[in-house]
């Protein structure tokens, strides 16, 4: 144990024989694999035009059931632009979203500093936005952003029927509804709906290609033709119109094709893993039964006490369970679990051994 304490939890996880999270190592091989069978004479896109980008945008527009789509280098850029467009349409600077929205906690106030918009933080941080919260919004709100799933509270989802009600209310009130669908495709098994059926409730939608899809980078912003046309202008203003985005487009398309049909598999594995963890004393998942391939894992122990226990488990079993811990308070810490290809590569007996050893060591 003393020797194990000399390395960090992240280092021990990355050195483990069977790390269980995500889709694989974050390295150059990802790009090499994606480009392996691409014709080297294929022309790249040029400042947002060309067959390679236009074909992918059309493919994603059809997948999402929207009139048009635009490829962006990042979701941060895409979503700030979406909020700006809907704000300008209504001539109102007020937009609304969850207190733990990516725009609020991970973007250095970009929406406020770059676009001078005024966010309303709707609902409470520990729970989903509900219909009754939405009904408190004034008609001067230009756009409501909903994140599906809500990452910062364990990937929770509202029931589809409530989404339908929220959508109808927003349309009655003249409030645009935007979907932060960074992990949209991961929600389809739980809802039993296609991506297009979910997106039909929203005026615009953003999806990511490096979350569950496991690509390198890139995002799609989709909506009406008029909306996406204006978004291209804003993309140029933001510096997002790189001379060529084709490495991101080709890798996004490759990993989309590779993994889009595996979302139910990842979801079922998350439920299986959560059930195993919930059998351990001092461990709980949020939500108790996952609704996507992700959930949060809470431990009734400080991160400083738990980390060496986990490192020892990795050393003895070869199974890497988690890569980081965040303190909740001095007697509780948490982490995020997101499953992809890797989990299916772990021998089940090794996994059971790792969780059993974790439990034994936590109880000592």
- Residue-by-residue pLDDT tens, the chain, 364 positions: 444 558 999 999 999 999 999 999 999 999 999 999 999 999 999 999 999 999 999 999 999 999 999 999 999 999 999 999 999 999 999 999 999 999 999 999 999 999 999 999 999 999 999 999 999 998 899 999 999 999 999 999 999 999 999 999 999 999 999 999 999 999 999 999 999 999 999 999 999 999 999 999 999 999 999 999 999 999 999 999 999 999 999 999 999 999 999 999 999 999 999 999 999 999 999 999 999 999 999 999 999 999 999 999 999 999 999 999 999 998 999 999 999 999 999 999 999 999 999 999 999 8
Helix (H, G, I), strand (E, B) or coil at 102: helix
Cα 255–chain centre separation: 15
Distances (CA, A) of 157 to 134, 140, 191, 358: 16, 27, 9, 29
Residue 359's closest CA among 303, 300, 315?
A: 300
Q: Which strands sit side by side in the sheet containing 283-286, from one edge to the other? A: 283-286, 294-299, 332-338, 326-329
User: Please, are residues 276 and 20 in contact by the beta-carbon 8 Å criterion?
Assistant: no
Residue 256's closest CA among 193, 194, 210?
A: 210
User: Please, are residues 350 and 344 in contact by the beta-carbon 8 Å criterion?
Assistant: no
Task: Pull the structure tokens for residue 82.
Answer: 């979406």
Task: Pull the structure tokens for residue 325.
Answer: 């811990």
* Residue 344: Cβ within 10 Å count: 12
3-state secondary structure 238-292: CCCCCCCCHHHHHHHHHHHHHHHHHHHHHHHHHHHHHHHHHCCCCEEEECCCCCC
Residue 307's closest CA among 293, 320, 288, 294?
A: 320
Q: Count CA atoms within 13 Å of residue 259 on its CB side.
A: 28
Q: Count CA atoms within 13 Å of residue 293 on its CB side.
A: 31
Task: Pull the structure tokens for residue 78.
Answer: 């895409």
């Amino acid at each position: 144990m003393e020797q194990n304490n000399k390395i960090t939890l992240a280092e021990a996880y990355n050195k483990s024989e069977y790390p269980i999270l995500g889709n694989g190592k974050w390295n150059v091989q990802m790009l090499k694999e994606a480009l392996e069978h691409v014709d080297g004479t294929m022309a790249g896109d040029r400042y947002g035009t060309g067959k390679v980008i236009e074909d992918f945008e059309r493919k994603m527009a059809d997948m999402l059931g929207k009139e048009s789509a635009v490829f962006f280098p990042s979701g941060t850029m895409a979503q700030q632009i979406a909020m700006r467009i809907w704000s300008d349409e209504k001539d109102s600077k007020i937009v609304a979203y969850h207190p733990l929205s990516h725009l609020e906690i991970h973007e250095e106030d970009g929406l406020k500093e770059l676009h001078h918009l005024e966010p309303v933080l709707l609902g409470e941080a520990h729970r989903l936005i509900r219909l009754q919260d939405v009904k408190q919004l004034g008609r001067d709100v230009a756009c409501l952003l909903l994140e599906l799933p809500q990452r910062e509270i364990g990937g929770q989802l509202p029931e589809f029927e409530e989404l339908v009600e929220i959508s109808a209310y927003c349309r009655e009130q003249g409030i645009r509804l935007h979907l932060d669908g960074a992990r949209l495709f991961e929600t389809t098994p739980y809802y039993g709906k296609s991506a297009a059926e979910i997106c039909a409730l929203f005026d615009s939608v953003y999806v990511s290609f490096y979350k569950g899809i496991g690509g390198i980078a890139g995002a799609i912003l989709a909506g009406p033709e008029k909306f996406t046309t204006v978004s291209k202008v804003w993309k140029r203003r933001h510096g997002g119109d790189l001379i060529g985005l084709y490495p991101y487009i080709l890798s996004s398309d490759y990993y989309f094709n590779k993994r889009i049909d595996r979302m139910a598999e990842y979801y079922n594995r998350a439920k299986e893993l959560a059930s195993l963890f919930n059998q351990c004393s001092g461990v709980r998942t949020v939500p108790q039964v996952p609704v996507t391939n992700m959930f949060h894992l809470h431990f009734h122990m400080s991160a400083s006490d738990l980390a060496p226990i986990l490192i020892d488990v990795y050393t003895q079993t070869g199974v890497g369970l988690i890569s980081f811990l965040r303190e909740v308070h001095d007697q509780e810490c948490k982490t995020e679990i997101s499953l992809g290809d890797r989990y299916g590569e772990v021998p089940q007996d090794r996994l059971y051994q790792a969780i059993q050893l974790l439990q034994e060591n936590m109880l000592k």
